Amino acid sequence: MENLISSSVLTTLSDWDIVTSTLDTKFQDSVVGLSDYKTILRGDNGDLLNVCKNSYTPQTNAQFIDAVERFASVTNFPVEAIYEVDRGKKMLGYLRCTETFEVGGFEFKDYLMLGNSHDGSTGFFVGNSNIMVRCNNRFAQQFRMLKVRHCSSLHNGVNQILAGFESYKRELSGYYKTLDEFSKVEVSEEIKQTLIARLANLSNEEILGDKEISTKKRNIITSIDESLSSEMEDIGFNLYGLFGGVTHYTTHVLKGADESGMFGRAKILNLEGYNYCKSVARQVLSC
């Protein structure tokens, strides 16, 4: 699947599944079973994915693949990929949105994203991932209203999400409307520097010059500034270009970033930038 994941992981979820096992501990040379807990392991190599209570009901790889395929059947969106993240602790599925999107003359590819985890870090969720074609900048987000917690009734929860597909489309439409609003708001140097300070996690003392900024943070600030400046030069000196700079940084510059943009530091920074731009746009456009 172009620009989303490496080709080596397109089918990994169908190659293995999880197994559960009892949890034992050693006490005074005796093995004691912990009856209230169990482990979740990879069935192919035995790697530990989770230690959880017996009441926790994980979704198997086969069940996740089935859920992705049922989404594809309901939405008529073709399946692009189903794969593992973080050595199998999380899993993602992509369905290609058949509708095209364009903002400010720039084309986007959009994907309905499904996700779940074996380590309990997230429940079954629906979100979207979009890529600006000109530069492959990526932004992904979960739609909270469609999120389902891990439980024994997970199968029913997935059916509820299928019924909520219209909510996904409304959220997606709202997102591109927001990007269009971004393109109408010019960016001052103050707005740009405020965002850089947030993304670099500068303290008030560092912002005011009362505390010296470390070399590591200065390097981060320089990298973020370069991404923001280059994208605004190409896209426009507005919030649309500014936000494009954020996704450029998290997609192409940030080291160790999750390729999907759905987890980790990339997700945090993207949402920080998106919410900041929304706040500025709201203030400017309401005047």
Contacts (Cβ under 8 Å, ≥6 apart) of 12: 83, 84, 88
Q: Tell me the pLDDT tens digit for each residue of 44-99.
A: 999 999 999 998 889 999 999 988 888 888 888 999 999 998 999 999 999 999 88
User: Rounded to an integer, what distance in angstroms lies between the CA atom of residue 271 and that of residue 30?
Assistant: 50
C-alpha–C-alpha distance, residues 268 and 273, integer Å: 9
Q: What is the pLDDT of residue 6?
A: 40
Rounded CA separation 55/62 (Å): 20
CA separation for the pair 251, 186 (Å, rounded): 24
Buried b (16+ CB within 10 A) or exposed e, 80-96: bbbbbbeebbbbbbbbb
Lowest-pLDDT range of 87-91, 168-172, 192-196, 237-241: 168-172
What is the DSSP secondary-structure string of 16-44?
A: --EEEEEEEEEETTEEEEEEEEEEEEETT
**Distance between start and end Cα atoms, the chain:** 44
117-165 tens-digit pLDDT: 999 988 888 888 999 988 888 888 887 545 555 555 555 556 666 666 7
pTM as predicted: 0.81
H or E element that contains 281: helix 264-285
Please state, in angstroms and rounded to a whole number, the distance separating the CA atoms of residues 233 and 231: 5
- Which sequence spans correspond to the domains of the chain? 7-12+58-179, 16-53, 185-285
Answer for the pair 146, 164: CB distance below 8 angstroms, yes or no: yes
What whole-number distance in Å separates Cα of residue 17 and Cα of residue 146? 25
CA 142 to chain centre: 7
Contact 148, 125 (CB under 8 A): yes
Residues 193, 195: Cα–Cα separation, whole Å: 5
Residues 6+ apart with CB under 8 A from 56: 38, 50, 120, 150
Q: CA separation (Å) from 146 to 105, 108, 113, 153?
A: 31, 23, 12, 15
Token look-up 């890529």 returns 131
pLDDT tens readout for residues 198-237: 999 999 999 999 999 999 999 999 999 999 999 999 999 9
- The conformation of residue 25, written as its DSSP 8-state character, comes to E
- Which residues make Cβ contacts (< 8 Å) with residue 38, sequence separation at least 6? 20, 21, 22, 23, 51, 52, 53, 54, 56
pLDDT at 2 over 50: no
Q: What is the mean pLDDT of the chain?
A: 87
